[in-house]
């Protein structure tokens, strides 16, 4: 997703009137294309991962398009803190793991049957397989990123690798071999724009999972609830960067973020 035009208020100096510039966003949908087999055209068949990507990027689009802020610098996705701008996008991904949602948007190419429940259950198990190790991996990377930016002394007695090894001894379950030189290839924090911000990957997941859990709590059937959706629109999507993301989250959820929903969505609720 990217923005082409941002919502803003444009004043007419001659008439003292104004107009609101309508926002425009676009998605790059380079998904699986239709194919021809034995001279017969077959429609595009999206993988589940492609559907997740579509929902994710659409979440960014909603964030940009539904803003009610009229100041360019904080309208839509502009001005939203780095560690919260992924909240609407990761929030939308959750719908791709809802049985009621998938049964309404899946269909066998030949029989027309929706996704079988047994296959859906296997998909959930595969998603959550070793999710604890994956989470620890992200925490290890995030802690290393933070410490190398605020506590590392280039001319000190400890090398970058030794700093990482200290962190691994605290949080890692599986320790890489001695020849491992992960810091040399950690491109995210040197060329990827995530310097001192790699933690935002996991923190945005905390925010999105906790926000989504309000839909789980308030919907009488499934996760669709119009009142909660309107509340999400008003307090998260519409306000852009006009206030801090934490203020917006509290205004929506009624409290500060909690970890429970993220652990539950990763199959770790009993941990």
pLDDT of residue 17: 85
pLDDT at 163 (0 to 100):
96
pLDDT in tens, 76-111: 999 999 999 999 999 999 999 999 999 989 999 989
Angle between helices 200-218 and 245-253 (to 10 degrees): 20
Chain centroid to CA 30? 19
Q: Kindly report the three-state secondary structure assignment for every residue of the chain.
A: CEEEECCEEEECCCCCCEEEECCEEECCCCCCCCEEECCEEECCCCCHHHHHHHHHHHHHHHHHHCCCCCCHHHCCCCCCCCCCCCHHHHHHHHHHHCHHHHHHHCCCCCCCCCCCHHHHHHHHHHHHCCHHHHHHHHHHHHHHHHHHHHCCCCCCCCCHHHHHHHHHHHHCCCCCCCCCCHHHHCHHHCCCCCCCCCCHHHHHHHHHHHHHHHHHHHCCCCCCCHHHHHHHHHHHHCCCCCCCHHHHHHHHHCCCCCCHHHHHHCCCCCC
Phi, psi of 41 (to 5 degrees): -80, 135
Residues 6+ apart with CB under 8 A from 250: 256
User: What mean pLDDT, rounded, does the chain reach?
Assistant: 94
Q: Which of the residues 11, 50, 57, 93 is marked catalytic?
A: 57
- 57 catalytically annotated: yes
Angstrom distance (rounded) from CA 215 to CA 236: 14
Neighbours of 112 (CB within 10 A): 7
Low-confidence stretches of the chain (pLDDT beneath 50): 271
Q: Specify the pLDDT at position 270.
A: 62
Tokens of 149: 């930016």
Residue range 29-65, pLDDT digits in tens = 999 999 998 888 989 999 999 999 999 999 999 999 9
Residue 239: CB atoms within 10 A of its CB come to: 22
At 271 the pLDDT is: 44
């Amino acid at each position: 997703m990217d923005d082409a035009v941002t919502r803003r208020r444009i004043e007419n100096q001659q008439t003292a009137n104004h107009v609101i510039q309508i926002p425009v966003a676009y998605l790059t949908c380079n998904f699986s294309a239709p194919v021809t087999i034995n001279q017969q055209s077959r429609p595009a068949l999206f993988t589940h991962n492609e559907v997740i990507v579509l929902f994710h990027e659409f979440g960014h689009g909603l964030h940009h398009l539904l803003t009610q802020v009229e100041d360019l610098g904080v309208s839509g996705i502009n001005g939203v803190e780095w560690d919260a701008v992924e909240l609407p996008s990761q929030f939308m991904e959750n719908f791709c793991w809802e049985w009621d949602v998938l049964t309404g948007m899946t269909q066998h190419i030949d029989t027309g049957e929706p996704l079988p429940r047994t296959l859906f259950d296997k998909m959930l198990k595969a998603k959550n397989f070793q999710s604890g190790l994956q989470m620890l991996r992200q925490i290890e990377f995030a802690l290393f990123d933070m410490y190398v930016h605020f506590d590392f002394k280039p001319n000190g007695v400890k090398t970058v690798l030794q700093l990482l090894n200290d962190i691994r001894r605290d949080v890692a379950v599986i320790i890489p071999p001695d020849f491992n030189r992960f810091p040399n290839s950690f491109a995210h924090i040197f060329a990827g724009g995530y310097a001192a911000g790699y933690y935002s990957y996991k923190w945005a997941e905390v925010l999105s999972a906790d926000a989504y859990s309000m839909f789980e709590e308030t919907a009488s059937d499934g996760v669709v609830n119009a009142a909660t959706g309107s509340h999400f629109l008003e307090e998260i999507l519409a306000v852009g960067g006009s206030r801090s993301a934490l203020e917006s989250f509290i205004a929506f959820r009624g409290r500060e973020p909690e970890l429970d929903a993220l652990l539950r969505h990763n199959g770790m609720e009993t941990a």
